[in-house]
């Protein structure tokens, strides 16, 4: 069992061929995806890659991520050791680490030894964690343990190999064992320690065995890597490079002309980046652990969606490469490799999965693309959406109420039509603020606060139309496209520059989605405007809003996660009640959805626990008198949920109502 | 076998206003929709097409802008869409309208295929007469089956149809030979949603227009001249102003109690 150049070189070539074949087989499938430009801002992309791939910023955001950080960096350091091992195997008499100048050898050898030790500890910890408290129950796969075991074997073999080499040098040089080992332990603490324990007579055998064990484990690793979920080692870094630099809070437009396809029902209709995403997932499960649908027992699991896209691509890849049609459906009940309709409709588009993903996989846009296919190509969707779609298209509001009723909320107020020449702000009231009896109170409070602060503002009145958020997230891009064009044309015609909204869905749609239509507006959420007005002294508290009692704040997904507005509503509440609001266990970017986003507001929730009840119960843990929200949908979901749990003593208030309590009363 | 669906463009009634001076509907800026009952007739025809592979033609009498209504029918999957439009058709009551529609159906019967069924909504939401469907049946001497909420059996070979009619408090099962004219109620089916590809194709499609040169009807039987009835006045009924009771926002429980007292005083709550 002595190192043999020829055998080694042959095995190396075979492994490299298997590696290259595996990489090509999979990565060439990525080119089946549609074109998408992710090559802008190269400098920023490079920086983000350093931060998130090499710096592992999102990985270490969770405590256990430290373990991954250690494995990742050990791997980078050990690439030097493994390169040396391979070159030494090919040219045993020319290349050897120890032949380097002593000043270079010592730190390098030290780093390799320590990195190996850290990696060994980290994989042991990872294996124990997976046994005792796995990230999710299905994570206890043979594959996961196999790769951890393989890494452990590599490390143990490397220690033994280095130790036997040290011992051999000691024997050859006739040095004093005690002082030699003492020095050796300083250079390579683990291998040095082990060197003293090896039986001198079997050194040759041990060295040979360790060398071959290391060689075979390394080859196995090289062969296995591109053919498993561990391919993320190769793809995660470019995935961070090619990530959407802006928040993935919107979806791409579609071109509506005869003969085009709409949405995605075959895997090659996704973009190349979508397909790269599927190969970058290492199934850590962080997305499913924050997904409101997964947590409450719905069939949707964002990790499984990405996995199914990958499996579908692998199954259909060869047929698609030849220009054929896919054999296995992407949407369907087939199980692995296809996404069920029920899971597609379960998504609230809250964005928690994308916020949690360490490598920036974009799950939500992929799910919306699947919805688009169902709605636009098959006209197949949950039946309660039929009325919604017709109401939106016919009357530009979700309930189908006559547009002439849009101004009823302000019939008792002196509200002026927006005039671009003389007014600063358009108050875009939104459908809920205009029609929903509870949310009309928020509109009134907002109008009074704007007047009190001396802002010049107006409304579009009966001409205001729905922003189209729900239809877009539900995949009815055709109707959204019409609504967006109409709105954009009207905003341009009326000279709208600055818009304040009281609904995060209007806010995000006007701000982010309409930019795709060439409309750059300064959109501000009412919580931000109120915060600014308080800071500028335009709004002065008459009294502390004591009636609110203990107030807990709930982050809206489209304000927080999708647009990074976390502080403004908290500062408004703090100004009004004289103290920072109480926080729920999951808050800010970890906040849990109310259940109404992504058009779920208009759908029944038949499966599992109700999402709003989960959140209401979480809020009630803070023993609040008031739950403060910043979104009309959240308002409805909380009011409904509180009724369900019979918490009559808890009230739900919008930030504007809390502020009004302090400023106006 | 050909199925003909008669559809009408109507103003969206939730948005209708009446001009107090002229006593006519204010049509400016009011969006038009397909008469809701007709959408169920259309859906049933398309389901029969899916089941039996028959041909479906949609016809509509109206001004040129009623083309949009027929494009919606094309987007849903009808094979032919014909707009019956001519100034001389204007001002028609239900008799004159049914004359034009019946003539168009006869023409389709002669040129496109043997008509087995004519489907209409039970009434339109603007005129609310429910007379045009039966009028067509009379002009064509077809059997008329009104207020259909279910087609129980349809046998094109034996030329027989059996339907359920939704009457007040009861259902009536009726069998009739074909060709027959059916007017349908909402309970019949749930209309489908158009696919985008078909909408785009429909938008580019050219809707065939038949004027009276094509139909060649006697001008005394169509339009205003052929209409023995006319609208002398149209108005919104006076309605007593409602009353706002309490403040449901500030005191929901107290307001609910107030409401109950009011309703009990008026003997409107059974105890």
For residue range A153-178, list pLDDT tens digits in order: 999 999 999 999 999 999 888 889 89
Residue A92, strand partner residues: none
Helix axes A272-280, A302-321, angle to 10 degrees: 120
Asked if residue B27 has pLDDT above 70, the reply is no
Whether residue B36 lies within 8 A of chain A, CB to CB, comes out as no
* Distance between CA atoms of residues A148 and A556, nearest Å: 40
Please give the full DSSP string across A46-88, using - where no structure is assigned.
HHHHIIIIIS-TTGGGSTTHHHHHHHHHHHHHHHHHHHHHHHH
Distance from the Cα of B178 to chain A's closest Cα (Å) equals 32
Q: Which residues of A touch B193 (CB under 8 A)?
A: 375, 379, 381, 386, 389
* Distance between CA atoms of residues A184 and A201, nearest Å: 20
Asked if residue A581 has pLDDT above 90, the reply is yes
With a CB cutoff of 8 Å and minimum separation 6, the contacts of A384 are A602, A603, A604
Give the nearest partner residue to A262 out of B33, B194, B196, using CB atoms: B196
pLDDT tens-digit series, residues A21-79 = 999 999 899 999 999 999 999 999 999 999 999 999 999 999 999 999 999 999 999 99
* Distance between CA atoms of residues B32 and A28, nearest Å: 52
Whether residue A337 lies within 8 A of chain B, CB to CB, comes out as no
Q: Which CATH architecture has domain A267-377?
A: Orthogonal Bundle (1.10)
Detail the DSSP E strand segments found in A66-198: none
Whether residue A133 lies within 8 A of chain B, CB to CB, comes out as no
Q: Which residues of A touch B191 (CB under 8 A)?
A: 386
% chain A with pLDDT above 90: 91
Instruction: State the complex-level ipTM.
Output: 0.88
Distance from the Cα of A656 to chain B's closest Cα (Å) equals 16
Q: A30: exposed, middle or buried (C-beta count within 10 Å: 0-12, 13-18, 19+)?
A: buried
* Distance between CA atoms of residues A46 and A235, nearest Å: 15
The DSSP bridge pattern shows strands A498-501 and A522-525 to be parallel
* Distance between CA atoms of residues B174 and A363, nearest Å: 55
Q: Which of the four pLDDT bands, split at 50, 70 and 90, describes residue A4?
A: confident
Give the nearest partner residue to B196 out of A377, A394, A403, using CB atoms: A377
Give the nearest partner residue to B201 out of A258, A375, A401, using CB atoms: A258
pLDDT tens-digit series, residues A249-289 = 999 999 999 999 999 999 999 999 999 999 999 999 999 99
Before B178, cis peptide (omega within 30)?
Answer: no
Mean pLDDT of chain A: 95
Q: Which of the four pLDDT bands, split at 50, 70 and 90, describes residue B24?
A: low
Residue of B nearest to A381 (CA): B193
Is the CATH number of domain A5-241 1.10.3470? Answer: no
Give the nearest partner residue to B196 out of A376, A386, A401, using CB atoms: A376
CA dihedral A507, A510, A512, A514 (to 10 degrees): 170
Q: Is the separation of the CB atoms in A519 and A491 below 8 Å?
A: yes
pLDDT tens-digit series, residues A207-235 = 999 999 999 999 999 999 998 888 899 99
With a CB cutoff of 8 Å and minimum separation 6, the contacts of A80 are A108, A112
Q: Do A386 and B33 lie within an 8 Å CB cutoff?
A: no
Q: Which of the four pLDDT bands, split at 50, 70 and 90, describes residue A506?
A: very high
Whether residue B22 lies within 8 A of chain A, CB to CB, comes out as no
How is residue B1 annotated by DSSP? -
Q: Which residues of B touch A379 (CB under 8 A)?
A: 192-195
How is residue A585 annotated by DSSP? S
CATH superfamily placement of domain B2-221: HUPs (3.40.50.620)
Distance from the Cα of B155 to chain A's closest Cα (Å) equals 29
pLDDT tens-digit series, residues A534-556 = 999 999 999 898 889 999 999 99
pLDDT at B266: 86
Whether residue B195 lies within 8 A of chain A, CB to CB, comes out as yes
* Distance between CA atoms of residues B211 and A228, nearest Å: 69
pLDDT at A339: 97
Average pLDDT of A454-469?
97
pLDDT at B31: 81
pLDDT at A1: 52
pLDDT tens-digit series, residues B203-219 = 999 999 999 999 999 99
* Distance between CA atoms of residues A375 and A598, nearest Å: 14
pLDDT at B25: 67
pLDDT at B3: 98
Q: Is the separation of the CB atoms in A574 and A543 below 8 Å?
A: no
Helix axes A65-90, A5-30, angle to 10 degrees: 130
Q: Do B195 and A478 lie within an 8 Å CB cutoff?
A: no
Number of A:B CB contacts under 8 A?
A: 43
In this structure, which long-range contacts are made by residues A3-12, counting pairs with CB atoms below 8 Å and at least 24 apart in sequence? A3/A89, A3/A92, A3/A208, A3/A211, A3/A212, A5/A89, A5/A90, A5/A92, A8/A89, A8/A90, A8/A215, A9/A89, A9/A90, A11/A215, A11/A216, A11/A219, A12/A86, A12/A89, A12/A90, A12/A219
Q: B90: exposed, middle or buried (C-beta count within 10 Å: 0-12, 13-18, 19+)?
A: middle
With a CB cutoff of 8 Å and minimum separation 6, the contacts of B255 are B245, B246, B247, B248
pLDDT tens-digit series, residues A407-449 = 999 998 999 999 999 999 999 999 999 999 999 999 999 999 9
Q: Which of B11, B186, B196, B202 to mutate to test the interface with A (most CBs of A within 10 A)?
A: B196
pLDDT at A160: 96
CA-based nearest residue to A409, from B249, B255, B14: B249
pLDDT at B15: 64
Where are the CATH 1.10.1060 domain residues in chain A?
Answer: 267-377
Q: Is the separation of the CB atoms in B15 and B121 below 8 Å?
A: no
Distance from the Cα of B237 to chain A's closest Cα (Å) equals 19
Q: Which residues of A touch B30 (CB under 8 A)?
A: none
* Distance between CA atoms of residues B94 and B97, nearest Å: 5
pTM: 0.93
pLDDT at B23: 63
The DSSP bridge pattern shows strands A498-501 and A425-428 to be parallel
Asked if residue A109 has pLDDT above 90, the reply is yes
Give the nearest partner residue to A402 out of B15, B33, B192, using CB atoms: B15
CA-based nearest residue to B33, from A387, A393, A383, A485: A393
Which H/E stretch holds residue A209?
helix A203-224
């Amino acid at each position: 069992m002595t190192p043999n150049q020829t055998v080694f070189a042959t095995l190396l070539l075979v492994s490299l061929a298997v590696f290259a074949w595996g990489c090509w087989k999979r990565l060439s499938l990525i080119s089946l995806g549609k074109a998408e430009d992710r090559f802008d801002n190269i400098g920023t992309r490079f920086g983000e890659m350093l931060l998130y791939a090499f710096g592992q910023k999102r990985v270490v955001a969770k405590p256990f991520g430290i373990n991954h950080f250690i494995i990742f960096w050990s791997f980078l350091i050990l690439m030097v050791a493994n390169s040396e091992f391979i070159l030494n195997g090919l040219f045993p008499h020319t290349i050897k680490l120890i032949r380097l100048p002593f000043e270079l050898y010592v730190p390098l050898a030290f780093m390799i030894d320590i990195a190996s030790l850290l990696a060994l500890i980290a994989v042991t910890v990872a294996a124990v964690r997976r046994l005792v408290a796995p990230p999710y129950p299905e994570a206890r796969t043979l594959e996961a343990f196999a790769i951890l075991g393989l890494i452990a074997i590599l490390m143990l073999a490397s220690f033994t190999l280095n130790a036997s080499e040290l011992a051999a040098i000691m024997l050859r040089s006739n040095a004093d064992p005690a002082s030699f080992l003492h020095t050796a332990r300083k250079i390579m603490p683990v291998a040095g320690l082990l060197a003293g324990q090896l039986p001198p007579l079997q050194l040759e055998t041990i060295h040979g065995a360790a060398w071959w064990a290391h060689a075979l484990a390394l080859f196995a690793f090289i062969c296995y890597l591109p053919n498993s979920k561990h391919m993320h080692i190769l793809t995660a870094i470019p995935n961070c490079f090619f990530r959407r630099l802006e928040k993935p809070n919107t979806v791409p437009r579609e071109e509506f002309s005869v003969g085009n396809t709409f949405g995605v029902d075959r895997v090659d209709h996704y973009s190349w980046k979508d397909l790269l995403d599927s190969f970058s997932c290492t199934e850590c499960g962080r997305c499913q652990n924050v997904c409101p649908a997964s947590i409450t027992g719905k069939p949707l699991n964002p990790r499984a969606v990405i996995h199914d896209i990958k499996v579908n691509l692998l199954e259909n890849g060869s047929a698609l490469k030849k220009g054929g049609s896919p054999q296995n459906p992407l949407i369907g009940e087939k199980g692995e490799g296809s996404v069920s309709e029920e899971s597609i409709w379960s998504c609230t588009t809250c964005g928690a999965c994308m916020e949690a993903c360490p490598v920036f996989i974009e799950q939500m846009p992929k799910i919306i693309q699947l919805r688009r296919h169902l709605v636009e190509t098959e006209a197949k969707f949950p039946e309660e959406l039929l009325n919604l779609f017709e109401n939106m298209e016919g009357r530009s509001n979700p309930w189908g109420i006559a547009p002439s009723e849009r101004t009823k909320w302000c019939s008792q107020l002196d509200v002026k039509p927006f005039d671009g020449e003389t007014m600063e702000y358009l108050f875009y009231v939104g459908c809920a603020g205009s029609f929903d009896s509870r949310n009309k109170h928020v509109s009134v409070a907002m109008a009074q606060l704007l007047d009190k602060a001396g802002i010049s503002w107006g409304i579009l009145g009966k001409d205001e139309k729905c922003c189209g958020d729900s239809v877009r997230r539900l995949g009815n891009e055709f109707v959204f496209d019409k609504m967006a064009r109409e709105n954009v044309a009207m905003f341009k015609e009326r000279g709208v520059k600055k818009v304040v909204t009281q609904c995060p869905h209007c806010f995000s749609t006007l701000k982010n989605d309409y930019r795709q239509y060439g409309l750059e507006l300064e959109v501000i959420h009412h919580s931000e405007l109120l915060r600014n007005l308080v800071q500028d002294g335009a709004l002065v508290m008459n009294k502390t809003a004591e009636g609110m009692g203990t107030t807990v704040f709930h982050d809206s997904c489209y304000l927080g996660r999708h647009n990074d507005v976390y502080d403004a509503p908290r500062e408004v509440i703090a100004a009004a009640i004289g103290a920072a609001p109480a926080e729920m266990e999951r808050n800010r970017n970890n906040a849990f959805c109310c259940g109404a986003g992504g058009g779920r507001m208009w759908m029944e929730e038949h499966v599992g626990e109700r999402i709003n009840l989960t959140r209401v119960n979480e809020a009630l843990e803070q023993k609040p008198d008031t739950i403060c929200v910043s979104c009309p949908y959240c308002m409805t979901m909380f009011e409904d949920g509180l009724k369900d749990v019979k918490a009559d003593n808890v009230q739900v208030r919008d930030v504007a109502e809390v502020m009004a309590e302090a400023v106006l009363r | 076998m050909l199925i003909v669906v008669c559809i009408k463009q109507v103003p969206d009634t939730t948005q209708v206003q009446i001009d107090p001076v002229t006593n006519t509907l204010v049509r400016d800026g009011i969006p038009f929709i397909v008469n809701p009952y007709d959408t169920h007739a259309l859906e049933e025809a398309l389901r029969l097409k899916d089941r039996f592979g028959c041909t479906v033609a949609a016809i509509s009498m109206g001004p040129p802008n009623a083309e949009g209504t027929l494009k919606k029918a094309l987007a849903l999957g009808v094979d032919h869409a014909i707009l019956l439009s001519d100034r001389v058709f204007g001002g028609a009551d239900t008799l004159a309208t049914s004359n034009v529609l019946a003539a168009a159906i006869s023409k389709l019967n002669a040129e496109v295929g043997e008509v087995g069924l004519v489907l209409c909504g039970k009434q339109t939401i603007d005129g609310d007469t429910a007379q045009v469907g039966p009028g067509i049946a009379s002009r064509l001497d077809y059997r008329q089956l009104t207020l259909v909420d279910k087609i129980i059996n349809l046998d094109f070979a034996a030329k027989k149809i059996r339907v359920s009619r939704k009457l007040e408090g009861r259902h009536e099962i009726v069998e009739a030979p074909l060709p027959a004219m059916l007017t349908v109620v909402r309970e019949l089916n749930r209309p489908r949603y158009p696919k985008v590809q078909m909408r785009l194709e429909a938008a580019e499609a050219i809707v065939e227009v038949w004027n009276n040169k094509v139909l060649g009807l006697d001008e005394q039987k169509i339009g205003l001249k052929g209409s023995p009835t006319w609208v002398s006045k149209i108005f919104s009924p006076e309605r007593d102003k409602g009353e706002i009771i309490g403040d449901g926002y500030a005191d929901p429980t107290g307001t609910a109690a107030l409401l109950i007292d009011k309703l009990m005083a008026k003997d409107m709550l059974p105890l």
